[in-house]
Chain A
Amino acid sequence: MSDMVLEVDGIHTFIGQFHILEGVNVAVRQGEITVLLGRNGAGKTTTLRSVMGLANVRTGDIRFYGKSIRQMPAYRIAQLGIGYVPEHRAIFRDLSVAENLKIAERSPGDLARRQDFIYSIFPDLERLRHLGGGQLSGGQQQMLSVARALVPENRLLLIDEPSEGLAPVIIEQMMRAIRELSARMTILLVEQNFRMASELADRFVIIEEGQSVFSGPMSDLVGNDELINRYLGAA
């Protein structure tokens, strides 16, 4: 049990009056990449938002290194060392790239300490440092969005659909980056692109209609066409 980074334990989440998650269990182990799979609208993004404290979790528990974080406000959860890369690359369009990174600092000097590492993973960003966030291309915005989560001292990364709407070359680059990151920290990934998910992830959790229905090591899933067809549609 000691290598559990994040345990999501039967959470029920509501958006307004709508019952979105009806019992989701996710266990993320130290140093691994766990991927959430499922159809559109199954509740993958809501699971990440629940972990981050951005959604209204009514029952169940979420533990980060054994400590319950369900009732905490989002900023405290982030301060515990969880980085969040939302879908649709929610970067700040009015801020420059450097400011986008700077805002993620949790203690002064974070950016100075880590910018070499960040720019080694995403060399493009160094060149574009002074450009406005709104002027970047989709792929660059996605890189910035991931890079922003690397600025502070994070132990867990939640990444939501990093390949969404990107060109295949950029997806390759993103996969390389995520693999490189997984050597340093634990990652919980939401991914629609099954090929990318199967190449990256160590474990998977399938979410269907707000419930986690199946989980295990990725090797279980790769050959299992019946499971893939049933829950994910044609692979």
Chain B
Amino acid sequence: MQTLRERLKNIKVESNTLWGGIAIGFMLLLLLLTFIDTVDDPRRFSQVVAGGLYQGMLVFMVAAGLSIVFGLMDVLNLAQGSLLMIGAYVGWDILTRLSGSDDTNAFLLSVHVIAVAPLFVLLLLELTERLAISRFMQRDPDTPSPPSALGRQLTIAVLVGAPVGVLVGEFLASDFSATSDSMRIFFAVVVTGVAYLEVIREPILFALRWAVNEISMRFQRGLAMMMNQEPPTAHSVTYHEPERTFDLEMGIRLVAIGLSTIVIAAVLNGTDPITLRFGLAAVAATFAGAVAGTVMEVIFIRPTYVRPFFQIVLTFGLALVIREAIIFRYDTTPKGTLAEFLPTPLQGTFPPAELEGLFPNLETTIFNYWIFMIVMGALMMIGVQVLLMRTRIGIIIRAGVQDSEMVEALGVNVRLVFTAVFTLGGAIAALGGIISGGFINIDPILGDLFLLQAVSVVIIGGLGSYAGTALASILVGITRSVTAYFSRQQFNTDGWAPIAVLALLCIVLLIKPSGLFGREH
């Protein structure tokens, strides 16, 4: 018969669960305090909760890249907040440039066709592959091509073919309105098919391979010279004569491409130009962030992997340079928010007037945009989680966090994965930038503002722990909004909110430096 004491001893509380519980408990305590304080004003309470959530999600968008990069490469990228700022400013720039005139609408449409359509088509293609082809068609497991090689070919085909298909289909549809649908199908299929049938595929692939090889070899040689090593020997890239095949699989794929291009054309035709504009700005900002992240890694971070101390100093300096460059380009005056450029459904408050009857007791002033931010942040959280857990690159990243040398010895170009992680982090941060721009003033201290919070999140969550980062960002958001609420009530200022977050960071650092979910070193 076990005594109670022994039984208690046998319950092993995982360290993760314990600290996660403490964090959640702390959060609930804060919310409870707020709830007690606002017990006769549920509207205020819901505002505090939603405010905390959206702030947490915005911080998460910066912290996600920071955390993965920190875990994988031991680089604390103090310029990550600046990537968010780049996103916000690029978005603002594009939105103000494109505002107003009618000409921009046509421009917006075509840009969407070229930039967005291929992505949708690829998505649909992937779904076709997963749901239909791989399930119903038997493949010989020993033939060494299926999804990936074909996928790569198709990517090129789609990137070129889909926009052309949509544009041609649109053009013809406007001329022969009676036959529009069939014409659209026909031309979309034909154009993408022709594009696929290797008029262009192999030369483009060859040129890409050649360029990538050339640049990387030059870079490696230069680096080797600086590091006093012998330069590596050159590898040549050969041109493969394409195999022309057309079978049932290909047919299914082409039909899928054609159908999806039509759907896109129809959807785009029916969409509000304001939404299109905002979508374009978001895509452009994300792209700018991705480019900035990549450039940062390749030019600045890569030469300093062997000198970790200089790396942190360097990113610190990069943050300074980006801030000053933005001041140089855009001036120090705040640009205000992007609220006026938002699509109509995102303006206004929740619940909308038509649904007022459904929630008779809930008189709330939660902005729709808050909900949008929370949803986007949650999508990002789930997306990155899926990427890390389900995809090959995710496995590589998780393995690389532990032992990147061994991953390289297995035949993976880890440097490329490092760069890809920086790209991804930059893209997410910049997307966070334009999303935050919808609600927060765009000014040159935006970067520092988010950087400090994101760093707090990464440290509180624990080095390299994705779940920790996600939890900690919500914790930080709630802490901020609850503190802001009490501070406003007591002192008539919300200046205590950032101080509370930083104090939380200091406390966590002193009590458990490895963070909630981090491993002890």
Contact = CB atoms under 8 A, between A and B. Distances in A.
B323 to A, nearest CB: 36
Nearest to B230: A71
Nearest to A148: B410
B413 interface: yes
Contacts of B408: 54, 73-75, 78
A102 interface: yes
Contacts of A104: 410-411
B351 interface: no
Most chain-B Cβ atoms within 10 A of its Cβ — which of A58, A73, A75, A106? A75
Interface residues of A, number: 34
Given A54-B405, A94-B398, A107-B148, A113 B142 contact: yes
Interface in B284-309: none
Nearest to B464: A94
A102 B410 contact: no
Nearest to B142: A113
B397 to A, nearest CB: 10
Contacts of A76: 235
B398 A92 contact: yes
B495 interface: no
Contact of A93 (B229, B402, B409): B402
Contacts, number: 81
A108 B396 CA distance: 14
Nearest to B232: A71
B12 interface: no
B144 interface: yes
Given A103-B396, A109-B144, A94 B409 contact: no
A100 B405 CA distance: 15
A74 B148 contact: no
A108 B403 CA distance: 23
Contacts of B412: 75, 103
Contacts of B148: 107-108
Given A71-B230, A75-B408, A103 B395 contact: yes
Contact of B399 (A56, A58, A86, A95): A95
A78 B235 CA distance: 15
B514 to A, nearest CB: 15
A88 B273 CA distance: 60
A164 to B, nearest CB: 16
Contacts of B409: 52, 54, 74-75, 78, 84, 86
B231 interface: yes
Contacts of A109: 141, 144, 146
A1 interface: no
A216 to B, nearest CB: 29
B410 A103 contact: yes
Interface string A43-85: 0000000001010101000000000100111111011000010
B392 interface: yes
B405 A92 contact: no
B403 A71 contact: no
Contact of B233 (A68, A92, A107): A68
A102 B146 CA distance: 17
Interface string B199-239: 00000000000000000000010000000011111010000
B72 to A, nearest CB: 12
Given A73-B408, A108-B147, A113-B142, A90 B232 contact: no
Contacts of B403: 90, 92
A112 interface: yes
Interface string B140-178: 011010111000000000000000000000000000000
A9 interface: no
Given A75-B411, A75-B412, A104-B410, A94 B147 contact: no
A152 interface: yes
A57 to B, nearest CB: 9
A108 B146 CA distance: 8
Nearest to B409: A84
Interface string B388-401: 00001001101101
Given A75-B414, A148-B410, A112 B141 contact: yes
A54 B407 CA distance: 11
B217 to A, nearest CB: 11
A76 B405 CA distance: 13
Contacts of A113: 141-142
B327 interface: no
Most chain-A Cβ atoms within 10 A of its Cβ — which of B146, B392, B410? B410
Contacts of B414: 75
A99 interface: yes
A64 B372 CA distance: 57
A95 B400 CA distance: 11
A163 B371 CA distance: 58
A127 B142 CA distance: 24
A112 B140 CA distance: 11
B499 interface: no
Nearest to B411: A78
Interface in A97-152: 99-100, 102-109, 112-113, 148, 152
A56 B229 contact: yes
Given A54-B405, A71-B233, A78 B410 contact: yes
B406 interface: yes
A99 B410 CA distance: 13
A63 to B, nearest CB: 12
Most chain-B Cβ atoms within 10 A of its Cβ — which of A58, A92, A148? A92
A103 B405 contact: no
Contacts of B142: 113
A102 B231 contact: no
A152 B146 CA distance: 16
B231 A71 contact: yes
Contacts of A100: 399
Contacts of B230: 58, 71
Interface of B: 141-142, 144, 146-148, 220, 229-233, 235, 392, 395-396, 398-399, 401-403, 405-414
Given A71-B232, A102-B392, 8 more contacts: A74-B408, A75-B411, A86-B409, A95-B398, A103-B399, A108-B146, A108-B147, A148-B410
5 contacts: A58-B230, A75-B408, A78-B410, A86-B406, A95-B395
Q: Which 5 A/B pairs are nearest by Cβ-Cβ distance?
A: A78-B411, A71-B232, A92-B399, A74-B408, A108-B148
